[in-house]
Structure 1
Amino acid sequence: MIRLRKICAGLFLLGSLSAHAQSFTLKEAVDYAIVHHVQVKNSQIDLQNASAKINEIRAIGLPQVNAGLSYGNSLILQRVFIPANLFNPAAKPDELIAAKFGVTNSGQSSVSLSQLVFDGTYLLGLKASEVYKDLSVKSLTQSKQQVAENVTKAYYGILVNEKRLSILQLNVGRLDTLLKETKALNAQGFVEKIDVQRLEVQANNLRTELENIYRLQELSYSLLKFQMAYPIQEPLRLSETLEKIELSQSLLIDQDIPFNYGNRIEYSILKTQENLAELDLKSIKAGYMPRLVAGANYGYNAGANSFGDLVSRTWFDNATISFSLQIPIFDGFSKKYKAIQSANNLQKVRQSYDLLKSSIDLQRSQSAISLKNALESLKEQKANLDLANEISRVSRVKYTQGVGSNLEVLNAETSIKESQANYFTALYNALIAKVELAKSNGTLYSEQ
């Protein structure tokens, strides 16, 4: 009894904390996780990087402006050998003079501008970066769907355990009442001591099971908080109940309608990957086209034998404009083999469609069959549980009237316990099958 009081006190404390805790419906729990989960946040960062990548590639086609300032000091001027008779007609024809040319100090400043006029790979690269951003958007959606799936399963697990806890508490109360009655009958000499002991063993086992489910419920709440990225130390409670969750054959109505594979994010991602592979192949082939770049440069330069003269003397300006046309002629077949690899990668992506479609069809079929089986099992286990409860009621009535045995009552209680365990297992399996069916149909999570 002391242990039972501790359990009840723990349940009461949990309920008191829950009363002051933030309440979540399933949708609110999923929405909270979508905002706070690290997996989603990292996908959002990847999307930001994809947007930045587009601007990075776009910047290549914008004017490129650079400025520079240089200073040089020739510690030892290089000598140039020239015929001596250029300066002295009397010099011998083969006589040379080692003359210094240049100045000790030199300076130069310039501003240059370059503009990409045409480059086929640039245009395709810009388009590919936009497709890559689309891939990042879809990867973000996939992360949200995975988080939604995990939160939903954890949420359902708590609801099932809550129902199990409430029924186990009723079982403990019913068995305690029967135990008190049996002890009274034993004190009056109507039943044997062993009948009391059998009930005590049954009651102890039931309390132990209640403790285990209580601890399991604490773990289930921790799991849900983890999946939601909710602070583990903060209390949390659920505002939905099992009665609000639809579990019927109507969930299978749409299974015979032609399925749109585009509803599955995996298929949509594969389509984007195909677009990227196509652009990669086109970009390699565009490498055979000429590349035209325009440029302009304006600057000043000066020279002097002393640094002071370099600063004070006039600097002379200069300017140039240029056009550079680069025509690829032969690259050792480098682009040819790159194109072969890219074409093979594109073929692999296209061949993956049939495999992915078959995989999706199999998942939809399996999930539909699993849900059907789970609903049938749930129906049967509910009938078994109702029957076990009725048998227990009749056995207790017979026992209290002196026409039934204690063993009959214990067997009925054991049957109830087994039926309840089977029922809750079937209930949880049905809920998980419901999630898997929605996942296979691509309807588990929608941002609408």
Structure 2
Amino acid sequence: MKSYLIILLFSISYLSSFSQEKNSFSLTEAQKFALENNYQKVNAENDLLIAKKKVWETTGIGLPQVTAEAKFQNFIELPTTLVPASTFDPTAPSDQYAELKFGTDYNTTASITASQLLFDGSYLVGLKASRVYKEYAEKNVAKTELQVKEDVGQAYFLVLVAEENKKILSEVAQTTTKLLDETIRIYEEGLIEEQSVDQLKLTLNDINNSLAEADRQIAISKNLLKFQIGFDINNEIVLTDKIDALLAFTDSENSLTSNFDFNNHVEFQSIKVNERLMKLNFNKEKFSFAPSVAAFFNYQKQNMSNQFDAFSGGKWYPQTLWGISVSLPIIAGGSRLAKTGQAKVEYLKAQTNSKQVEQSLILQAQKSRSEYISALSIYYNQKDGLALAEKINNQAIKKYNEGIISSLNLSQTQNQYLESEGKYIKSLLDLFNAKSNLNKALGTN
């Protein structure tokens, strides 16, 4: 019994630990989780599946087509045919007709037909286009993955910054609370005026308001992150990465910043695939002037009788044939020429778009690198400024306790510190956004 309890407790502890690990995410883990659960990624994967099915659909058009058909007819009244009566009676007037009925009351037909496309230029181009479209869907999946990772990264960092903001505000609130308690004690001893107490209460009230807002920002940021990765919003989530680790570039990223090749960027690869699609569409329209050739084979049996005996010994009459059909478009009112002209212009537009994207990617890489360097410099300056403002604030608290400065002077110093803290938090966000934009420009998110 004792051993059973030990095993049970161990299992509960293990499951609890496992559940907790599932709620804890580094940025890489969050991005990986999102790639499996994000709504946009799921839709992109489904689009790829559709493209793969489209390849098979198009391929099937050129494979042998076999159809079977069965038909049963029961003539309640046989149709009447009029023929000149002179056919049977030379003396009959020329305007006289004989009424004849041909056929049997029951007709049953069973047939099987096979056909094979021998040549169709549009089909050959369409088959190639379906495969290129699958490649386009694959590039779209890759683009979606990059976008998802970028969105998750921004949401993840937003939570970290919100938590960092709360951490700094909490430290300031704790220090101000202690200072207020000490000031109240001194006031009660009659050594200072009530204004000093009120001034600190006002400052602490502002800090507490900022803390409450920070809590709301953390909750909102976490819910945004949960949404981005496809995590249940009602469950708690814990972030394990630290800000400094996310702000640093890896060696591979640093080499990319100086050796950018737009040919490796998924955006350029995608636009080039689209250009190939437009070229194939142009070729398809040109092939609309070419003939299409197909072979066919048909075998059928037919039962004809005035009694329904198709399945009770009635006689069946066979028929077998094969042939080749050629279809050659001749005149279509100029519509084919118009479609071909449109397809050519679309192809030229696709070439222009490829060139535009190429130049845009090069420019964006240069611009994003410059903005990152600028944001990094501002971040270091604001970080140093925050440390300096904290030092000044601590000195002001010491002077206030010694009675050298007034509560008003202390309040001004604390406001300066909080202002520096706000600038530091903004520089954090700006730096990460600049890093994220640079990664996106390089295609390395």
User: What is the aligned partner in structure 2 of residue 64 from structure 1?
Assistant: 65
Structure 1 segment 359-378 matched on structure 2, within 5 A: 359-378=360-379
Q: 1:76 aligns with which of 72, 75, 78?
A: 78
Matches of residues 106-117 of structure 1 in structure 2 within 5 Å? 106-117=107-118
Read off the aligned partner of 1:102 and give its amino acid letter.
Answer: G
How far the C-alpha of 1:68 sits from its partner, in A, is 1.2
Q: Distance in 2 between matches of 1:195 and 1:19?
A: 48
Secondary structure (helix, strand or coil) at the match of 2:247 reads coil
Stretch of structure 1 that moved more, 318-327 or 180-189: 180-189
358-367 or 282-291, which moves further after superposition?
358-367
Q: How does 1:217-366 map to 2 (within 5 A)?
A: 217-247=218-248, 253-254=254-255, 257-308=258-309, 312-366=313-367
Preserved CA contact (<8 Å) 2:80 2:99:
no
Q: When the two structures are superposed, what TM-score results if normalisation uses the length of structure 1?
A: 0.89
Q: CA deviation at 1:237?
A: 0.4
Q: Secondary structure at the match of 1:313?
A: coil
Residues 383-412 of structure 1: CA deviation (Å, up to 9, x unaligned): 221221121222222222233322222221
Report the AA paired with residue 129 of structure 2.
A
Shift of residue 132, structure 1, vs aligned partner: 0.4
Residues 384, 310 of structure 1: CA spacing in aligned structure 2 closer, same or farther, 3 A cutoff? closer
Q: Is the 8 A contact 2:81 2:100 kept in 1?
A: yes
**Are the equivalent residues in 2 in contact too, given 1:139–1:269 (CA < 8 A)?**
yes
Distance 1:145 1:26 in 2: 14
Structure 1 residue 104: Cα displacement: 2.5
| Aligned equivalents of 2:210, 2:184: Cα separation in 1 | 23
Residue by residue, what CA displacement relative to the aligned partner does 1:334-393 show, whole Å, maximum 9, x if unpaired? 222111000000000111123222322332233223222211211221222122112122
SS in 1 for 2:186: helix
Helix, strand or coil: the match of 1:102? coil
How far does residue 171 in structure 1 lie from its aligned partner after superposition?
Answer: 0.7
Task: Return closer, same or farther for 1:393/1:85 CA change in 2, 3 Å cut-off.
Answer: closer
C-alpha deviation, 1:272, in angstroms: 0.5
Contact 2:177 2:204 in 1 (8 A): yes
Could you say what secondary structure the match of 1:168 adopts? helix
Q: More deviation in 350-359 or 125-134? A: 350-359
- Which residue matches 2:198? 197
User: Structure 1 CA distance, aligned partners of 2:315 and 2:328?
Assistant: 41
CA distance in 2, matches of 1:249, 1:279: 41
Q: Is the contact made by 1:252 and 1:368 (CA closer than 8 Å) also made in structure 2?
A: no
* One-letter identity of the residue aligned with 2:79: L
1:129 aligns with 130
CA separation of 1:255 and 1:54: change in aligned 2, threshold 3 A: closer
Cα distance between partner residues in 2 of 1:189 and 1:19: 54
Distance change in 2, residues 1:19/1:65 (3 Å): closer
What is the deviation of 1:158?
Answer: 0.8
Matches of 2:336 and 2:439, distance apart in 1: 46
Cα shift readout 1:140-191 (whole Å, capped 9, x = no counterpart): 1111111111110010011111111111111111111111221222222221
Residues 255-292 of structure 1, C-alpha deviations (whole Å, 9 max, x = no match): 76352112322211110111111111111112222211
Offset of residue 311 of structure 1: 5.2
In structure 2, the residue matched to 1:43 is 44
What's the % identity of the aligned pairs?
29
Q: Which runs of 5+ in 1 are unaligned?
A: 1-17
Q: Once the 2 structures are TM-superposed, how far is the Cα of residue 252 of structure 1 from its aligned partner?
A: 8.4
Q: 1:289 to 1:317 in 2, by over 3 A?
A: same
SS of the equivalent of 2:235 reads coil
Residues 118 and 292 of structure 1 are in contact (CA less than 8 Å); yes or no, is this contact kept in structure 2? yes
After superposition, residues 141-180 of structure 1 pair within 5 angstroms as: 141-180=142-181
Asked whether the 8 Å contact 2:146–2:443 carries over to 1, the reply is: no
Residues 19 and 199 of structure 1: is their aligned pair in 2 closer, same or farther, counting only changes over 3 Å? farther
Contact 2:31 2:229 in 1 (8 A): yes
d(CA) in 2 for partners of 1:44 and 1:331? 40
Amino acid at match of 1:109: A
**Contact 1:82–1:99 (Cα < 8 Å) also in 2:** no
Partner of 1:415: 416
| Root-mean-square deviation (Å) | 2.4
Other structure's SS at 1:169 match: helix
Distance in 2 (CA, whole Å) between partners of 1:346 and 1:84 is: 69
Instruction: Confirm or deny: 8 A CA contact 2:257 2:369 kept in the other structure.
Output: no
Contact 2:121–2:290 (Cα < 8 Å) also in 1 = yes
Q: Residues 20 and 103 (structure 1 numbering): CA distance in 2 closer, same or farther, change over 3 Å?
A: closer
Distance change in 2, residues 1:19/1:409 (3 Å):
farther
Shift of 1:118: 1.2
Shift of 1:83: 4.4
User: Structure 1 residues 246-255 or 322-331, which shifts more?
Assistant: 246-255
Number of the residue aligned with 2:13: none
Cα 1:315–1:224 change in 2 (3 A) is same
Counterpart CA distance in 2 for 1:165 and 1:32 is 27
Normalising by structure 2, we get a TM-score of: 0.89
